[in-house]
Structure 1
């Protein structure tokens, strides 16, 4: 069963203390969840340990993009670009078509810039589209690029100043509905294949076959054994593997109302002066917001779970984007801000202060005798390949053979576009839950509290939060506001929704206590919820 909740946690906790598993995975971000799924789908017994909540670190604070690596072509890193193009295909076509959609990007030919910059950018876009074709991803998913007049570009991005551009280039890439939802879907799919998914379990020490973990719920220590251990803890990887030098690079974003920017239908790029190939993006979201990002600054002292956005980043992002706008954004237009830490891996000469943008995005696999296998670096788009490499190493340690099957392994909720369109559920829910959208919607017809918005104007209902508790492992109000929804990105909405989120959490926990944790095929729905009293 794919559901994870407090009941499944208790069962899994008892099981891994009684019986050694083939693999213990440390870290509940996209990489750790990917490793757990890859291993479980190859037939290994697996337990995933996360100290806080799924996607509570870097994986929940990205730009929400599945991109084919255009920026890496600008740095002549063809290997990373090609790997990104391949992984984008698997995600869009097979793994998570409900969570990934095409997003158009506008690159302006600015009147104030030399023409060679635009033509160089255009050449890179053509190379990237060539990689898209070679990867096997058809134009049905990502159309080929095209050149637009300034007026046509203005219609797609109304606040982008047409008087500052000669023309524009429109190209297409992948956009995630929500990065946290991808992590949750991967973890739940791993659970469906038999993996134990345990949040609130912090690894404090590890060897090649053992993990000492602290149960954050009880304060008790657990000594766990496995055939192999994988360290997939992102920016914290160096705490378990001392030979690794992780460079935490801060990626800050600002949240702005889409209406303030004319409700753009495409993203647009604002070049960073003096840094060819580096841009600030204005990324329209499906929730009526636009994310402005991102920065790329070394920040060794930042909290990976709650990375602060300094005022200098706010000023940089606004100043860069405003160079392209007809009416500049003001600090008062910023509804919220968020940041994540990229776990970049230092090499000789890398990582001078403030220059993390120049560090490679290649991932690193360390398989050293007597130590956990460590998988680090990389980026969200290539998580599946990182997981495959890590599990290949696990199998070599175990002396076993099993082929990777995750390239075309659909996540929970994934379905063909035609099937999703025929669900008859609200489009917002389909984009977030895929084929489970009708199940989530059915909750709203049981109890008025679940039908209502958690915070007025947010679009998020109590039914979504209830589902987050009983099926997706949320165990606290912050889990619900920060990751099962994105209300925490706008402090005003989070404050308005806190009380209702607490009420839904209590109701869901009561329901679990009375019924246990049945799956959808065991009668979960309006009748089951009503029958719980």
Structure 2
């Protein structure tokens, strides 16, 4: 018997939603199933609007799964003088950590070693203390994270064993997501619990007045009449809104085994040579891997549907930067994977006719722009998705003449969320609680066997994804609901198990 869960994205629910939307009229059609689109769907549905979300591939199939998996307070924004954006980031970090998704976010120390230069750590200390002041100024910020402090050589060796020994450093704190794609799935399922119809495999082909035309599963044509269309397609937003000016930027990461760096418990933070505001991070993960990033390279020309890949120059830049402080330098032979994502950065009106070449200096502020019944929301950061969604839906309800409907999402727990004390009492493996929250016992009951020998993901996680999280393909299971796919060799070993689960569940 299949357990019924709130917000389930089961095969049966999908069939019901498909039958219901064909020819229907709804308040809002959201185009795009990344963090922004899912956030808009949740905000709108929780205000009582009728909502359909159409995503051409799968939840978090685009940029939203290629982030650094951080919920950060915006230190880099402070370096650019964007105090308002830094405060918004700090506020939204406190919302995620304290109210909406405490099961998916943990505190993470960031260590800047003196080995990178005392001028570097002095600057990091000043930035960290300024970030602490911003955190203290926002609701929920006080007590959410420890304060910036200097540490000695023993602490450096304990937190980041791979760093050359003998010197101290500076530690500041930020938030880390267990998984960015899991955040998107939790948001989408919460939206579904409020009545939103979440349809993946539904590619929007045109918006003709209030009619939204889509092709479902590459075969079935569907038309939905929408009072408002929200274009949340990210770097692909120009396909529905050609007047939007974007300069995509590629952010790349490398994946290495944590033991290669001594299994660090803090994020090693090393400045990019010549920069006072850009750093390369070695980010430890709960599964024993370390993600090494982040680059910021402009991408010109049409945005392809295929996943981006790091360039050779980016790989070398990341290795060269972090190797400045390591006892044993990393080489390309240490890489077990790599990934890249495209940021949808908005070009300001003053940028002239051509694309810019300094994407690192472009603001991370988002853009809201109407074009007839289509409202495009693009830009911004994963951390601030909720605030972007609230502002977007405020504009929607104003257009619909229903401005009395106020956002609820600032205190609305996502699926699986609970206060930390309640999460600590959940009777399931700690790792599963950190990914599924209060639903972890359901996942655990579906099967404890490992998908791949030597990895922690279970067959129960794959079954749960197919039954309740809208997973319909091997890629959905291995590349998004779990992240086995970040290590290609492990992914190859997991395909047969994923295929078997899909055959049994769908």
Structure 1 length as normaliser, TM-score?
0.91
Matches within 5 A, 1:231-242: 231-242=231-242
1:421 aligns with 2:401: no
Residues 358-385 of structure 1: per-residue CA shift (max 9 Å, x gap): 11000000023x2400000001000001
Measured in 2, the distance between the counterparts of 1:207 and 1:42 equals 26
Q: Is the 1:207–1:371 Cα contact (8 Å) retained in structure 2?
A: no
Measured in 2, the distance between the counterparts of 1:160 and 1:7 equals 52
Measured in 2, the distance between the counterparts of 1:291 and 1:341 equals 17
Measured in 2, the distance between the counterparts of 1:47 and 1:198 equals 7
Matches within 5 A, 1:24-39: 24-39=29-44
Flag structure 2 segments of 5+ consecutive residues without an equivalent. Answer: 1-5
Measured in 2, the distance between the counterparts of 1:382 and 1:439 equals 30
Measured in 1, the distance between the counterparts of 2:270 and 2:120 equals 13
Q: What is the Cα deviation at residue 89 of structure 1? A: 0.8
Matches within 5 A, 1:438-453: 438-444=441-447, 451-453=448-450
SS in 1 for 2:137: helix
2:61 corresponds to:
56
Q: What is the Cα deviation at residue 420 of structure 1? A: 1.2
Matches within 5 A, 1:389-400: 389-400=391-402
Q: What is the Cα deviation at residue 242 of structure 1? A: 1.1
TM-aligned CA distance change 1:305 to 1:35, over 3 Å: farther
1:183 aligns with 2:184: yes
Q: Is the 1:87–1:381 Cα contact (8 Å) retained in structure 2?
A: yes
Q: What is the Cα deviation at residue 116 of structure 1? A: 4.1
1:91 corresponds to:
96
Measured in 2, the distance between the counterparts of 1:38 and 1:236 equals 22
Measured in 2, the distance between the counterparts of 1:496 and 1:259 equals 22
- Give 1:468's match in structure 2, choosing from 446, 465, 469: 465
Residues 111-140 of structure 1: per-residue CA shift (max 9 Å, x gap): 6x4x44432321111111111111133554
Measured in 2, the distance between the counterparts of 1:73 and 1:207 equals 42
- Give 1:125's match in structure 2, choosing from 128, 132, 148: 128
Matches within 5 A, 1:326-365: 326-347=327-348, 348-349=350-351, 354-365=357-368
Q: Is the 2:90–2:141 Cα contact (8 Å) retained in structure 1?
A: no
Q: What is the Cα deviation at residue 13 of structure 1? A: 1.3
1:488 corresponds to:
485
Q: Is the 2:23–2:222 Cα contact (8 Å) retained in structure 1?
A: no
Q: Is the 2:125–2:149 Cα contact (8 Å) retained in structure 1?
A: no
Of 71-80 and 48-57, deviating more is 71-80
Q: What is the Cα deviation at residue 218 of structure 1? A: 4.8
Measured in 1, the distance between the counterparts of 2:152 and 2:338 equals 33
Measured in 2, the distance between the counterparts of 1:372 and 1:200 equals 21
Q: Is the 2:258–2:288 Cα contact (8 Å) retained in structure 1?
A: yes
1:10 corresponds to:
15
Measured in 2, the distance between the counterparts of 1:415 and 1:252 equals 33
Measured in 2, the distance between the counterparts of 1:505 and 1:234 equals 29
Measured in 1, the distance between the counterparts of 2:422 and 2:37 equals 30
2:3 corresponds to:
none
2:386 corresponds to:
384
SS in 2 for 1:243: coil
Matches within 5 A, 1:282-293: 282-293=282-293
Residues 210-254 of structure 1: per-residue CA shift (max 9 Å, x gap): 211111x25122221011110000000111111111111101000
1:520 corresponds to:
none
Q: Is the 1:207–1:372 Cα contact (8 Å) retained in structure 2?
A: no
Q: How many residues align structurally? A: 497
- Give 2:82's match in structure 1, choosing from 74, 77, 84: 77
1:40 aligns with 2:40: no
Residues 324-379 of structure 1: per-residue CA shift (max 9 Å, x gap): 111101111100001111110112238855421111000000023x2400000001
Matches within 5 A, 1:266-285: 266-285=266-285
2:204 corresponds to:
203
Measured in 1, the distance between the counterparts of 2:418 and 2:381 equals 25
Residues 168-201 of structure 1: per-residue CA shift (max 9 Å, x gap): 1111100000000000000000000000000000
- Give 1:375's match in structure 2, choosing from 364, 372, 377: 377
Of 225-234 and 350-359, deviating more is 350-359
1:309 corresponds to:
310
Measured in 1, the distance between the counterparts of 2:144 and 2:285 equals 18
Q: Is the 2:37–2:53 Cα contact (8 Å) retained in structure 1?
A: yes
Residues 8-67 of structure 1: per-residue CA shift (max 9 Å, x gap): 111111111242111100000000000000000000010000000000000011000000
TM-aligned CA distance change 1:137 to 1:331, over 3 Å: same
1:299 aligns with 2:299: yes
Q: Is the 2:57–2:201 Cα contact (8 Å) retained in structure 1?
A: yes
Q: Is the 1:210–1:229 Cα contact (8 Å) retained in structure 2?
A: no
Structure 2 length as normaliser, TM-score?
0.96
